[in-house]
A = this chain, B = another copy of it.
Amino acid sequence: MPTATPVLGLRERNRLRRTRRVERAALALALEYGVDDVTVDMICEASDISPRTYFNYFGTKEGALIGPAPSAPDEVLIEEFVQARGSIVEDLMLLIARGFFATEPDRDVFAMRRELYTKEPSLQALQVTRMADKRQATAALVRRRLADQFPDMPETEASDEAQLVMSVAMGAFPVISRLWIEQSGDEAEVETYIHAAIARIRRIVTP
Protein backbone atom coordinates (compact mmCIF):
# COMPACT_ATOMS: atom_id res chain seq x y z
CA MET A 1 0.00 0.00 0.00
CA PRO A 2 1.47 3.31 -1.04
CA THR A 3 1.79 6.00 1.61
CA ALA A 4 -0.84 8.68 1.63
CA THR A 5 1.73 11.46 1.82
CA PRO A 6 3.56 12.31 -1.37
CA VAL A 7 6.79 10.32 -1.53
CA LEU A 8 9.69 12.36 -0.34
CA GLY A 9 12.94 12.47 -2.23
CA LEU A 10 16.11 11.20 -0.68
CA ARG A 11 17.09 14.81 -0.09
CA GLU A 12 14.05 15.55 2.04
CA ARG A 13 14.30 12.32 3.95
CA ASN A 14 17.90 13.01 4.82
CA ARG A 15 17.01 16.46 5.98
CA LEU A 16 14.23 15.19 8.20
CA ARG A 17 16.34 12.48 9.69
CA ARG A 18 19.11 14.89 10.41
CA THR A 19 16.78 17.47 11.90
CA ARG A 20 15.37 14.95 14.28
CA ARG A 21 18.77 13.65 15.25
CA VAL A 22 20.02 17.12 16.06
CA GLU A 23 16.86 18.12 17.92
CA ARG A 24 17.05 15.01 20.01
CA ALA A 25 20.68 15.61 20.88
CA ALA A 26 20.10 19.28 21.64
CA LEU A 27 17.12 18.57 23.87
CA ALA A 28 18.90 15.78 25.73
CA LEU A 29 21.86 18.03 26.44
CA ALA A 30 19.70 20.94 27.48
CA LEU A 31 17.75 18.73 29.83
CA GLU A 32 20.92 17.38 31.38
CA TYR A 33 23.01 20.53 31.73
CA GLY A 34 20.55 23.40 31.34
CA VAL A 35 20.19 25.58 28.25
CA ASP A 36 22.85 28.08 29.26
CA ASP A 37 25.51 25.47 29.83
CA VAL A 38 25.09 23.83 26.47
CA THR A 39 27.08 25.13 23.52
CA VAL A 40 26.37 24.73 19.86
CA ASP A 41 29.63 22.85 19.53
CA MET A 42 28.45 20.32 22.08
CA ILE A 43 25.25 19.77 20.17
CA CYS A 44 27.13 19.38 16.93
CA GLU A 45 29.54 16.86 18.35
CA ALA A 46 26.71 14.84 19.87
CA SER A 47 24.76 14.79 16.64
CA ASP A 48 27.68 14.55 14.24
CA ILE A 49 27.00 17.64 12.20
CA SER A 50 29.11 20.69 11.49
CA PRO A 51 28.35 23.91 13.38
CA ARG A 52 27.94 25.69 10.09
CA THR A 53 25.23 23.28 9.05
CA TYR A 54 23.62 23.58 12.45
CA PHE A 55 23.10 27.28 11.84
CA ASN A 56 21.90 26.65 8.34
CA TYR A 57 19.22 24.42 9.79
CA PHE A 58 18.18 26.24 12.92
CA GLY A 59 19.45 29.80 12.68
CA THR A 60 20.04 30.27 16.36
CA LYS A 61 21.41 28.20 19.20
CA GLU A 62 17.91 27.81 20.62
CA GLY A 63 16.36 26.95 17.26
CA ALA A 64 16.68 23.22 17.77
CA LEU A 65 15.18 23.53 21.23
CA ILE A 66 12.07 25.55 20.59
CA GLY A 67 11.12 23.80 17.39
CA PRO A 68 9.90 25.14 14.08
CA ALA A 69 7.79 28.27 13.91
CA PRO A 70 4.11 27.66 13.24
CA SER A 71 3.56 27.73 9.53
CA ALA A 72 1.57 30.54 7.97
CA PRO A 73 -2.10 29.61 7.70
CA ASP A 74 -3.41 28.96 4.22
CA GLU A 75 -6.00 31.07 2.42
CA VAL A 76 -8.92 28.85 3.31
CA LEU A 77 -8.34 29.08 7.03
CA ILE A 78 -7.76 32.81 6.77
CA GLU A 79 -11.03 33.34 4.96
CA GLU A 80 -12.77 31.29 7.59
CA PHE A 81 -11.28 33.48 10.28
CA VAL A 82 -12.24 36.72 8.57
CA GLN A 83 -15.84 35.64 8.27
CA ALA A 84 -16.23 33.96 11.64
CA ARG A 85 -18.23 35.86 14.21
CA GLY A 86 -17.20 34.37 17.54
CA SER A 87 -15.04 36.26 19.99
CA ILE A 88 -12.31 37.66 17.80
CA VAL A 89 -9.58 36.64 20.20
CA GLU A 90 -10.86 33.09 20.36
CA ASP A 91 -11.11 32.83 16.60
CA LEU A 92 -7.56 34.12 16.24
CA MET A 93 -6.25 31.60 18.73
CA LEU A 94 -7.93 28.79 16.88
CA LEU A 95 -6.30 29.98 13.68
CA ILE A 96 -2.85 30.05 15.25
CA ALA A 97 -3.34 26.67 16.90
CA ARG A 98 -4.17 25.11 13.56
CA GLY A 99 -1.00 26.52 12.02
CA PHE A 100 0.85 24.96 14.90
CA PHE A 101 -0.50 21.53 14.06
CA ALA A 102 0.40 21.73 10.43
CA THR A 103 3.94 20.69 11.33
CA GLU A 104 3.63 17.37 13.07
CA PRO A 105 6.55 16.82 15.38
CA ASP A 106 8.27 13.62 16.30
CA ARG A 107 6.82 11.89 19.36
CA ASP A 108 10.05 11.72 21.40
CA VAL A 109 11.03 15.23 20.47
CA PHE A 110 7.62 16.46 21.47
CA ALA A 111 7.90 14.86 24.90
CA MET A 112 11.39 16.17 25.54
CA ARG A 113 10.36 19.62 24.48
CA ARG A 114 7.47 19.53 26.88
CA GLU A 115 9.78 18.57 29.71
CA LEU A 116 12.29 21.26 28.85
CA TYR A 117 9.63 23.95 28.64
CA THR A 118 8.41 23.26 32.12
CA LYS A 119 11.99 23.17 33.39
CA GLU A 120 13.14 26.39 31.74
CA PRO A 121 10.29 28.84 31.28
CA SER A 122 12.68 31.35 29.72
CA LEU A 123 12.22 29.42 26.50
CA GLN A 124 8.63 30.63 26.41
CA ALA A 125 9.92 34.15 26.13
CA LEU A 126 11.87 33.07 23.07
CA GLN A 127 8.72 31.70 21.49
CA VAL A 128 7.12 35.06 22.02
CA THR A 129 10.10 36.83 20.50
CA ARG A 130 9.89 34.67 17.43
CA MET A 131 6.16 35.22 17.16
CA ALA A 132 6.85 38.92 17.30
CA ASP A 133 8.33 38.68 13.83
CA LYS A 134 4.94 37.65 12.54
CA ARG A 135 3.18 40.43 14.40
CA GLN A 136 2.65 42.55 11.35
CA ALA A 137 1.33 39.76 9.21
CA THR A 138 -1.04 38.67 11.93
CA ALA A 139 -2.18 42.22 12.65
CA ALA A 140 -3.10 42.53 8.99
CA LEU A 141 -5.33 39.48 9.29
CA VAL A 142 -7.06 40.89 12.31
CA ARG A 143 -7.63 44.19 10.51
CA ARG A 144 -9.16 42.35 7.60
CA ARG A 145 -11.59 40.74 9.95
CA LEU A 146 -12.37 44.00 11.69
CA ALA A 147 -13.00 45.72 8.38
CA ASP A 148 -15.30 42.91 7.40
CA GLN A 149 -17.16 42.86 10.69
CA PHE A 150 -17.31 46.58 11.45
CA PRO A 151 -17.09 48.50 8.17
CA ASP A 152 -17.74 51.77 9.96
CA MET A 153 -14.90 51.54 12.47
CA PRO A 154 -12.40 54.36 11.89
CA GLU A 155 -8.93 53.45 10.67
CA THR A 156 -6.94 54.36 13.77
CA GLU A 157 -9.31 52.65 16.14
CA ALA A 158 -9.21 49.48 14.09
CA SER A 159 -5.43 49.56 14.14
CA ASP A 160 -5.30 49.93 17.92
CA GLU A 161 -7.87 47.23 18.40
CA ALA A 162 -5.99 44.86 16.13
CA GLN A 163 -2.86 45.37 18.20
CA LEU A 164 -4.74 44.65 21.36
CA VAL A 165 -6.40 41.53 19.99
CA MET A 166 -3.04 40.20 18.97
CA SER A 167 -1.36 41.03 22.23
CA VAL A 168 -4.01 39.34 24.30
CA ALA A 169 -4.02 36.28 22.08
CA MET A 170 -0.25 35.98 22.03
CA GLY A 171 -0.02 36.67 25.72
CA ALA A 172 -2.46 33.94 26.62
CA PHE A 173 -1.19 31.45 24.08
CA PRO A 174 1.79 30.18 26.05
CA VAL A 175 -0.42 29.50 29.04
CA ILE A 176 -2.92 27.59 27.01
CA SER A 177 -0.34 25.58 25.13
CA ARG A 178 1.35 24.72 28.39
CA LEU A 179 -1.90 23.49 29.89
CA TRP A 180 -2.72 21.54 26.80
CA ILE A 181 0.75 20.05 26.43
CA GLU A 182 0.93 19.03 30.07
CA GLN A 183 -2.46 17.42 30.18
CA SER A 184 -3.19 15.70 26.95
CA GLY A 185 -1.43 16.83 23.83
CA ASP A 186 -4.37 15.66 21.82
CA GLU A 187 -5.20 17.89 18.90
CA ALA A 188 -8.95 17.59 19.27
CA GLU A 189 -8.97 19.02 22.75
CA VAL A 190 -7.12 22.20 22.02
CA GLU A 191 -10.37 23.91 21.10
CA THR A 192 -11.79 23.08 24.47
CA TYR A 193 -8.82 24.58 26.24
CA ILE A 194 -9.01 27.72 24.19
CA HIS A 195 -12.68 28.10 24.87
CA ALA A 196 -12.18 27.68 28.59
CA ALA A 197 -9.33 30.16 28.62
CA ILE A 198 -11.42 32.77 26.88
CA ALA A 199 -14.16 32.38 29.43
CA ARG A 200 -11.61 32.85 32.13
CA ILE A 201 -10.17 35.96 30.56
CA ARG A 202 -13.66 37.38 30.41
CA ARG A 203 -13.95 36.86 34.13
CA ILE A 204 -10.63 38.38 35.09
CA VAL A 205 -11.20 41.58 33.19
CA THR A 206 -14.59 42.04 34.80
CA PRO A 207 -14.65 43.75 38.19
As a 0/1 sequence over residues 171 to 182 of chain A, the CB contacts with chain B under 8 angstroms (1 = contact) are 110110011000
Contact A202 B206 (CB under 8 A): yes
Let me know if A161 is at the binding interface, CB within 8 A.
yes
Contact A85 B207 (CB under 8 A): yes
A-side interface size class? 35 or more
Let me know if A86 is at the binding interface, CB within 8 A.
yes
Residues on B with C-beta less than 8 A from A90 are: 205, 207
Let me know if A20 is at the binding interface, CB within 8 A.
no
Contact A201 B200 (CB under 8 A): no
Residues on B with C-beta less than 8 A from A179 are: 160
* Nearest-CB residue, chain B, relative to A160: B179
* Nearest-CB residue, chain B, relative to A198: B205
Residues on B with C-beta less than 8 A from A204 are: 87-89, 161, 164-165, 168
A→B interface (CB under 8 Å): 85-90, 121-122, 124-126, 128-129, 132, 135, 160-161, 163-165, 167-172, 174-175, 178-179, 197-198, 200-202, 204-207
